[in-house]
Amino acid sequence: MSDNDMDAYYKDIMYLLEFPKTASMTRVFTAKDEAAVRALPAWDLSRYLGQDTATTTVVAASDLAFDTSAFDAFVNATLVKRVKTALAPEGPFHASLAHIAFDAVGDMSTFGVAHRPLGTFGTLYVALPRHARGGEVTFRRGHDWNKCLLSRRSGAPQHSYAACYRHTHVTAAAITEGDRVLLVYNLIYNDPAAHTRDYPASIDEAAAHLRRLGTMDHDRLNVQRGCPVLQQGTSFETLSGVAKDVLTAFLQSGVYDVALATLVPDNDVVVDALRSSLLGIGSLANILFKCVELHPATGAPSVLQDGLHGSLLPEYTSSISDEVVHEFGPTHALIFWPKRHRLEAAGLHGAMLCLERAVTAAANDGTNTNLELLGCDDILSLAIHVMVFMEMDYSIFSEDQYQRVQAIIDPSATSFVHRFAAVLTTLGSINLILEFVATSLNMTHCNTSLPDVAMWLYGLCQTHGWELLFKSLAQLVDRWSKKQATMAPALHLIASLAGVDGATPVCPALHQPFTIELIKGLYRTSRHALDAHYHNARLAVQHEVLGLCLVLDAYVAENGVSSHWLHRQLPPLALATIDANLDPAKSMARRLLDAEETEGVALLTTAAPALVYGLRLQRRLRVPALAAAIAAKLHNPSTTVDMLVRDEWSHSDAVVIVRSLLTIALCDGTLTSALLERCRTVFGSCTVPAIRDVLAHDITVDNATRALLFQSVLRPITNTDTNYDRHLNDYYRDHPHPYVAPSHDDAREVDAGWRLAVDTLELIAEMDASQMLSYVRLWNDQVLSQEPWMYGGFVANCLLRHTFWTHEAWLFLANLCIKNLTPLFAGRRLRDLRPKVEVRVDCDCELATQLNTFMSSQHALVDVLRAPAPMCTAIQAFLDGPPKTTLELTRHNNDDDASEPVTITIERPHDDFSDDEVDAYSSKTMVERLQAMKKSKTIRKRQAPRITRSGKRTCVPRTAPYLT
């Protein structure tokens, strides 16, 4: 049976439980019935029908002042037959009068029965003909309902009756006129010992279907199902409505386990955290289990209860939509699964728990009897099933994500590789270890890191010898090399075993006889798998994978045939021929050279960053043919930055390419002024952050080379091609500066010009600050004077926000900004925009200082505040306080993420301002701030380190603002 057929089958069964058509029935007396009743002795009801219309009287059958036996006989002779046909109870039954209710208001208590004799399965209501309006009665079972006792709009009133099973939800509307006389009968089985069903026959029908369905094979990921508890019920005993009928049906089937799960509410802090980090799995509310209680009647082992804690139910099995379910906001859910699939229902964590407990119990008492193994024959069989669970290839939005969610709710639901490795060690089965490595060891299980896996494999090689593990390791490498998430880890494992994985290998190098044969064999396996798949990986993954391949190619070539198994037994030519037939047809360097013919710029976009990645791991790495081809491609007159852009959304990072070109030249000793000039010609302004990155991370750069790179930085770049801005925005978005505020409200982009100026000027300040004044003069002559709008943009921001300036350079640019911005507001009458009541934040941290400066400014309209995280408590209180009518604040950080600067856009309402007015107010604000700084002869200085407590800044008394 397919998954779709199985889903449809379950939904059909749920429909029987949610819409039980035989749960209740409503009728009116026929003419024949009316005639038969009129022939019966009449009752005197005057003593019960008083003048007070606000009263309700309920009289037990034993306390009535008149005899109802004749009417009771009529009910049993006539109405009971119709009830039997409509409700189909389990066996013969009769009706016994419980009470008569005289109601003028529509009181619900009139429908309840004070005493139900043994064998009572339902209730029969008979309404005498009375003139009344309102008082409609509704019988609801599941999502199905019936109405009866409706008032007639014309004609004489008549008898009506209704019957329902126990636990049917009955509601009554208010009586607005007249009254109602209601006879309430218990429906009682004649043989209570033989007949006990007090629910609709459709529940038994559903149980019969479940008996068949529970014996069928289920897909592993669809074994566990559930339905929400929409009515009140926090324990099995208090369940009602659909939930009670569902529980009854599954218990009646005898082949299902049932549990009651307490759900994590939608507003829970855990759900909020998960929602932001695991968006791929969709809604978390109402399907995340906080705790699980197994029904004792099923006999399910307690390990299931522990294993399901914190797990997720993908969706409810219900005939109603999930949207309806979420509207109810259930706090509990019934979950169920076939008993024969307890192992699958337990999931990876539950099965692992069961295996760990079984291994511990067997070790303690020395026997494997009386162990709970979730249906497996023995511990070894259970271990194999757990291994199969770990083998499954889950998508990023499926089981692996569910495991990560469960680990947040239940911290013990993690470290599966560690736990299974410990079990394997205890069991001592080398064959099971080899099978696990070959087929099931994955990197996709939560809290599984490559170093942990690599160290375990390294330990196995040390203990058992690599020859015993070679076949399993080769299968592992083959599996990993075909998937984007694990192709690089597979190569890191091989490189670490070879001792060529850089300064931080994932495991020590393996020193055993003929280890080179292990490395060659694993690398061949990886290459054969990689060659068809690495093209589909992300560019960063490609660079890492190809760089590792270049390193391993060099390692294998360096060892040659001298470490071959058959060294000194066969001629070197024969050994080389053997390796050539086993190795991939082309080295990775050769493949990269060939790719240039079909991909155009692959040497720059792929080969250069890959070679640099390899150089980071092994500084001695040399691939002369590839390096020469990369240099030739750079110097080719047809090479331009436009070649890197494939379409509007897809392009390679020019800064990364330039950084790679410079690093290769540094390692090869070919860095010249001509190469730098060519980089500037092709990549323009992207050269500056690339040079800064090289100088920041490469400690081997000598003074002469640093001077050569510095001279390239000192020349202002005049090219304003938008493609440069695109590359710079991409690079700077991934490398934020704590004092460069985003230029857009959504805080996703940066102003490339501002950040480029900061990079250049900071580099000048670090290397030779005496050059700054001459640089800004040249910058002004060649760039700023041609684009005067820049003075009021990032130039002024650089002057106001950064401290790298020399005094002379700052004054020079400040005077130019004041001169160019003043005409924009000169002669205009600008009003004071400050509120009548001064608003300040009582703190002197960087963010508070920026905020106070804005609020104290007479003409400031918009500013973007930016400072290192975390946010101080005074700012937090200001943002969380009452709404500010004169300020609009937009936070671009949802929490105190210490890795990302706090960014807040602040503005005063100015929708009615014209563009000229906005320019005037903005220019006036800039000039005021620049003049204040100029007057004080001080440039903004960094504050002393703040006192911290529990990760938050602690506010201190406010000092004088940096602007007056």
Task: Assess contact for 803 and 761: CB atoms under 8 A.
Answer: no
Q: Contact, 219 vs 337, CB < 8 A?
A: no
The model's pLDDT over 668-708, given as tens digits with 9 standing for 90+, comes to: 999 999 999 999 999 988 999 999 999 888 878 888 999 99
d(CA 732, CA 736): 6
* Helix spans in 440-510 (H): 450-464, 466-480, 484-498
% the chain with pLDDT above 90? 49
Spell out a b/e string for 243-278, using b for 16 or more CB atoms within 10 Å of the CB, else e: bbbbbbbbbbbebbbbbbbbbbeeebebbeebeeeb
Does residue 147 register a pLDDT over 90? Answer: no
Cα distances (angstroms) measured from residue 344 to each of 304, 347, 403: 10, 5, 14
Residue 219 has pLDDT above 90, yes or no: no
Q: pLDDT-based confidence at 870, cuts 50/70/90?
A: confident
The pLDDT assigned to 963 comes to 36
pLDDT of residue 783 exceeding 70? yes
Which pairs count as long-range contacts for 11-16, CB under 8 Å and 24+ apart, including other chains?
Answer: 11/317, 11/318, 11/319, 12/209, 13/206, 13/209, 13/210, 13/213, 13/249, 14/227, 14/246, 14/317, 14/318, 14/319, 15/319, 16/202, 16/203, 16/205, 16/206, 16/209
Burial class (CB in 10 A: 0-12, 13-18, 19+), 600: middle
C-beta contacts of 480-483 below 8 A and 24+ residues apart: 480/443, 480/526, 481/525, 481/526, 481/529, 481/530, 481/533, 482/529, 482/530, 482/533, 483/393, 483/533
Q: Cα separation of 825 and 860, whole Å?
A: 13
Identify the pLDDT of residue 736: 78
pTM assigned to the model: 0.77
Instruction: Determine the pLDDT at residue 754.
Output: 81
pLDDT band at 274 (very low <50, low <70, confident <90, very high): low
Q: What angle do CA 521, 525, 527 make, to 5 degrees?
A: 115
- Are 187 and 93 spatial neighbours (Cβ–Cβ below 8 Å)? yes
By mean pLDDT, which of 247-251, 365-369, 442-446, 833-837 is the weakest? 365-369
Tokens, residue 156: 């004489």
Residues 500, 620 contacting (CB under 8 angstroms) = no
Beta-carbon contacts of 579 under 8 Å, excluding residues fewer than 6 positions away, are: 520, 561, 564
Report how many helices (DSSP H) and strands (DSSP E) the chain contains, helices first: 36, 20
Q: Which helix (H) or strand (E) holds 369?
A: none
761 confidence band (pLDDT: 50, 70, 90) = very high
Distance CA 433, CA 437 (A): 6
pLDDT at 297 (0 to 100): 96
Q: What is the pLDDT of residues 811-826, one digit of tens each?
A: 999 999 999 999 999 9
Mean pLDDT of the 199-209 span: 94
pLDDT at 264: 82
pLDDT at 722 over 70: no
* Helix, strand, or coil (residue 531): coil
- Judged against a pLDDT cut of 50, whether residue 627 lies above it is answered with yes
Q: What is the mean pLDDT of residues 218-222?
A: 84
Q: Which residues contact 3 (CB under 8 A, 6 or more apart)?
A: 219, 222
Predicted confidence band of residue 575 (pLDDT cuts 50, 70, 90): low
Asked if 19 and 160 touch (Cβ cutoff 8 Å), the reply is no
Whether the per-residue pLDDT at 131 is higher than 90: the answer is no
Q: Which SS3 state, helix, strand or coil, does residue 777 take?
A: helix
d(CA 226, CA 238): 18
Q: What is the mean pLDDT of residues 913-929?
A: 91
Q: At residue 769, what is the residue type?
A: A
pLDDT at 658: 95
Categorize the per-residue pLDDT at 292 as very low, low, confident or very high, splitting at 50, 70 and 90. Answer: very high
Handedness of CA 150, 154, 155, 156 (dihedral sign): positive
**pLDDT(650) > 70:** no
Q: How far apart are the first and last CA of the chain?
A: 78
> How high is the mean pLDDT of the chain?
85
CA distance 901 to 742: 11
Q: Do residues 677 and 713 make contact, with C-beta atoms less than 8 angstroms apart?
A: no
Count of CB atoms within 10 A of residue 599's CB? 14
- Dihedral over alpha carbons 494, 499, 501, 504 (to 10 degrees): 120
pLDDT at res. 949: 43
pLDDT at 283 over 60: no
In the predicted structure, residue 362 carries a pLDDT above the cut 60? yes
More confident residue, 234 or 24: 24
Q: Where are the alpha helices (DSSP H) in 310-341?
A: 322-328
Q: Is the pLDDT of residue 728 over 80?
A: yes
Give the Å distances, CA to CA, from 509 to 68, 196, 504, 519: 98, 73, 11, 11
Q: Report the range of poorest mean pLDDT among 6-10, 644-648, 761-765, 952-956.
A: 952-956
pLDDT value, residue 154: 56
* pLDDT for residue 132: 85
Work out the pLDDT band at 948, boundaries 50, 70, 90: very low
pLDDT at 892: 75
- Lowest-confidence pick of 211-215, 307-311, 595-599, 696-700: 595-599
Helix (H, G, I), strand (E, B) or coil at 27: strand
**pLDDT confidence of 942, banded at 50, 70, 90?**
very low
Is the pLDDT reported for residue 789 higher than 90?
Answer: no
Residue 279 clears pLDDT 50, i.e. is over it: no
Amino acid, single-letter form, for residue 370:
N
CA distance 712 to 595: 32
Task: Enumerate residues 6+ apart whose C-beta is below 8 A from 218.
Answer: 6, 338, 341, 344
The whole-number average pLDDT for the span 494-505 is: 95
Q: What share of the chain is helix, strand, coil (3-state, %, to 5)?
A: 50, 10, 35
- Mean pLDDT, residues 356-378 taken together: 85
